[in-house]
Structure 1
């Protein structure tokens, strides 16, 4: 039988193969009674942002439907990798497999058995090559239902039959193989041995066939005895979860679309709050259902203050051998850049003094108020408070100065996160904290830039007779510090302050941006956590006090409370300063994502220099303006304010805060503060 012939025979049933879930052959289970068909067992979907098998419907065992376009908290299931489905696929294609039973029985592959020696001389009608083709095509179908239909198509009533065979299902049957569109009758033994099936399978097909010859669908695992869930109950749960205020992740907002909620409660505590607030006349909701809707219908994570692991390092660590080979070059470059950046930072710290200043800065994770143990605080959108920290690093003694030792640092074991700065992380000098809430400013370059400019002004006043060379370190946040607006601010600063000779900004490697600023933020967070044990935090002014007292020894942290009139419009500055930020002087494109170092010199105010790797020796030069376009002169450049008034709160936040005032959950002492926010 040719493949084309077999395809023509199966044309009417192709749709079954495309849409049906393939089940194990019930007749084959007689050969292996311990075999369990688990493919149709209902399971909860496990979803993530990416899908490996998008054709599988996302439903759970309680009929709670999950929209196909919605990302969920759970990983997406990939049934193709399940052991029972791998075993079933091997079984359905006639290949050897290991039973899923406790015995772990080894079942051999299907193979043709010896032909018959009957009077029909079947072995003379079909040669061995054709017989092998029939066997392979049959098992390559890979589907129980398709194999049954094929077997049924090969069974016909013979021209002559026994007179006592009255019942249709007990009558004798003739078997035919179609070769070159011609039916060739064979005996039952030849038929069974060619396909390597059993007589039980033939009896099953006859029993499942109706009067017009259609084989009934296999109903195993397709029971309808599933618990039905009222859609209104699911909607009530979703409404409750949607009512929980979301928190934008400070560290992950560029790399994930997952939503975050405050980590002060667990899913079970959220369920308890839901049941307590629920109308007692409505049906009771069990925890398993609330948990299932939370995990399967939403992609929500509990807020964590920092991201501890590097994505690329984690991916490489968990990758297969083949995937590791593909990632090897990228991973090695990543580690080299990480070690070089830390070595560079160590050298900068050793050079501190005589006009050399090394500083790190970072924006702390959002702090909210009011915050406390009360559930009423948890379920409202709270006021966001922001703290931008600039930490001056202390000078360290020189070590590992010779070339051989430096190379050892660069080639250190990647599994060990021992940095080039060793135990000096956390050794800092003065720390400046610029604090504001969301009614005064946002969290972009317009807010970060003026804080940097203010710090540079303080530094210039502190050392009026010294030419300063300032080095900044930070993470790679494009919206805050790695953009053309901050670049223009640096150029403006070296032109504006007479004793600042150069500014160099070095970006730590993604996933390995741990620095002294994190140490400062850790002290602040610990102080806040200790304070919450004694009572709620009601206003942003309480955070200011906690920041000032977070450092118990040495110089306390300095805090500057900012208002809307402090922030400046860096976009307007950039429009006046320059327009070319994407092409260097050699007409090569500038990839800002790849920039590792930026440098600004007083002698060339409208030029910046950059490196795309710490291993790169020479800087690339970029002219931000040229003579072809008329631009304001250096004396004509000015900066205007970013805001003329306070930023009003959103409707939901005003509504939530008003509800807290109405319930008297905020002490009268703080009511005027919140009334001023609500009425603006």
Structure 2
């Protein structure tokens, strides 16, 4: 049995674009910046310090070993562990002379090392940075995270508490505003009926309109069932002729302002005002505005609503509307091919 998929998908941070970009960056691989969309090339070993180096780094450590050191450093894939590597393979050296007459003493020197065949070999700073393809700022940042006890502090980027937040009053006002909007019961009825029809279509097709009547009546699982009023051609009236008999103003209100129907949110009709209807263009408005369908022009006398409405109504159809010939032909063809059972 296939598991039903919920509306909310589970969180999978490994598939986030920013997460993938961060993993590539920390692994020394090429990536595309999430913010600037700039392509950044992969890390690679830079040329060594050369033959003039006082420590003779190039002679002590061959290119094959440099490649192993480079691969091992970037395979860590975590900026925290990379900083710990830099700190653990470098030492601060106090200079021999520090002049006491100046306020700014000479900064501490640093010695850098690599482990080669279990032997700790000292190298110069240029060789250290070129082998790992890092810069002086990376080393400076690693030492700034080092505490007095020798531990490297955790990377706190994105883990602070200074995140932008939404005012609690705004959060509370959103559900209050939603709850203040009048509920349309028709939307709920429509949703229940659509679910019932969808469930039925998964099991078997619908061939005739009478099947919809049964489905609608049985759509409600609790409470009284829906009442279905079946309509025919004698149920529809020609309202165009009826509307012309008493008025056709639907765009100008009693304040002589033009009304845009797309802006209307609520419409109300009252029995005692048969010639008018009332509307609101915002849920926050307290008062309704009125539109008199008879018109507002002073030069033209207003028409009154006919006293006997039923006598003014004319049937829209005098007989059943027949099927179009092409449609009837297609239905017969489906029956002959037994796509529609012959019973129907």
User: Under a length normalisation based on structure 2, what TM-score does the superposition of the two structures give?
Assistant: 0.51
Local SS of the residue matching 1:219 = coil
User: Under a length normalisation based on structure 1, what TM-score does the superposition of the two structures give?
Assistant: 0.27
Structure 1 position 113 matched with structure 2 position 20: no
Structure 1 position 188 matched with structure 2 position 95: no
Deviation at 1:219, TM superposition (A): 1.7
Q: Return 5+ residue gaps in structure 2 as ranges.
A: 183-190, 234-344
Q: Deviations over 1:205-246 (max 9, x none)?
A: 22221222222222221122466999xxx9xx9xxxxxxxxx
CA distance in 2 between counterparts of 1:512 and 1:181 reads 70
Mapping for residues 399-414 of structure 1, pairs under 5 Å: none
Structure 1 position 152 matched with structure 2 position 42: no
Structure 1 position 88 matched with structure 2 position 5: no
CA distance in 2 between counterparts of 1:155 and 1:97 reads 29
Residues 523 and 551, structure 1, Cα contact 8 Å, conserved in 2: no
Local SS of the residue matching 2:195 = coil
Deviation at 1:527, TM superposition (A): 7.9
Cross-structure match for 1:515: 205
CA distance in 1 between counterparts of 2:76 and 2:57 reads 24
- Name the Cα RMSD after superposition: 4.3
Q: Report the CA distance shift for 1:269/1:228 in structure 2 as closer, same or farther (over 3 A).
A: closer
Deviation at 1:539, TM superposition (A): 6.5
Cross-structure match for 1:101: 35
Q: Report the CA distance shift for 1:126/1:137 in structure 2 as closer, same or farther (over 3 A).
A: same
Higher CA-based Rg: 2
Local SS of the residue matching 1:173 = strand
Structure 1 position 222 matched with structure 2 position 159: yes
Q: Report the CA distance shift for 1:197/1:269 in structure 2 as closer, same or farther (over 3 A).
A: same
CA distance in 1 between counterparts of 2:197 and 2:177 reads 24
2:109 corresponds, among 157, 172, 175, to 172
Deviation at 1:144, TM superposition (A): 0.6
Cross-structure match for 1:205: 142
Q: Report the CA distance shift for 1:307/1:136 in structure 2 as closer, same or farther (over 3 A).
A: farther
Deviation at 1:515, TM superposition (A): 1.3
Local SS of the residue matching 2:114 = strand
Q: Return 5+ residue gaps in structure 1 as ranges.
A: 1-47, 51-71, 238-266, 277-301, 309-364, 366-474, 476-510, 530-537, 554-680
Deviation at 1:157, TM superposition (A): 3.0
CA distance in 2 between counterparts of 1:218 and 1:168 reads 30
Q: Deviations over 1:364-413 (max 9, x none)?
A: x7xxxxxxxxxxxxxxxxxxxxxxxxxxxxxxxxxxxxxxxxxxxxxxxx
CA distance in 1 between counterparts of 2:99 and 2:23 reads 39
Residues 97 and 107, structure 1, Cα contact 8 Å, conserved in 2: yes
Cross-structure match for 1:77: 11
CA distance in 1 between counterparts of 2:32 and 2:20 reads 10
CA distance in 1 between counterparts of 2:45 and 2:197 reads 59
Structure 1 position 305 matched with structure 2 position 195: yes
Residues 169 and 206, structure 1, Cα contact 8 Å, conserved in 2: no
Q: Report the CA distance shift for 1:85/1:525 in structure 2 as closer, same or farther (over 3 A).
A: same
Local SS of the residue matching 2:109 = coil
Q: Report the CA distance shift for 1:85/1:539 in structure 2 as closer, same or farther (over 3 A).
A: closer
CA distance in 2 between counterparts of 1:146 and 1:113 reads 22
CA distance in 1 between counterparts of 2:196 and 2:232 reads 23
Mapping for residues 596-611 of structure 1, pairs under 5 Å: none
Local SS of the residue matching 1:516 = coil
Structure 1 position 272 matched with structure 2 position 199: no
Q: Deviations over 1:14-71 (max 9, x none)?
A: xxxxxxxxxxxxxxxxxxxxxxxxxxxxxxxxxx988xxxxxxxxxxxxxxxxxxxxx
Deviation at 1:73, TM superposition (A): 4.3
Q: Deviations over 1:63-116 (max 9, x none)?
A: xxxxxxxxx7422222222222211111111111111234x2111100000111
2:64 corresponds, among 116, 129, 139, to 129
Deviation at 1:196, TM superposition (A): 0.2
Mapping for residues 451-490 of structure 1, pairs under 5 Å: none
Q: Deviations over 1:560-607 (max 9, x none)?
A: xxxxxxxxxxxxxxxxxxxxxxxxxxxxxxxxxxxxxxxxxxxxxxxx
CA distance in 2 between counterparts of 1:222 and 1:169 reads 35
CA distance in 2 between counterparts of 1:165 and 1:152 reads 28
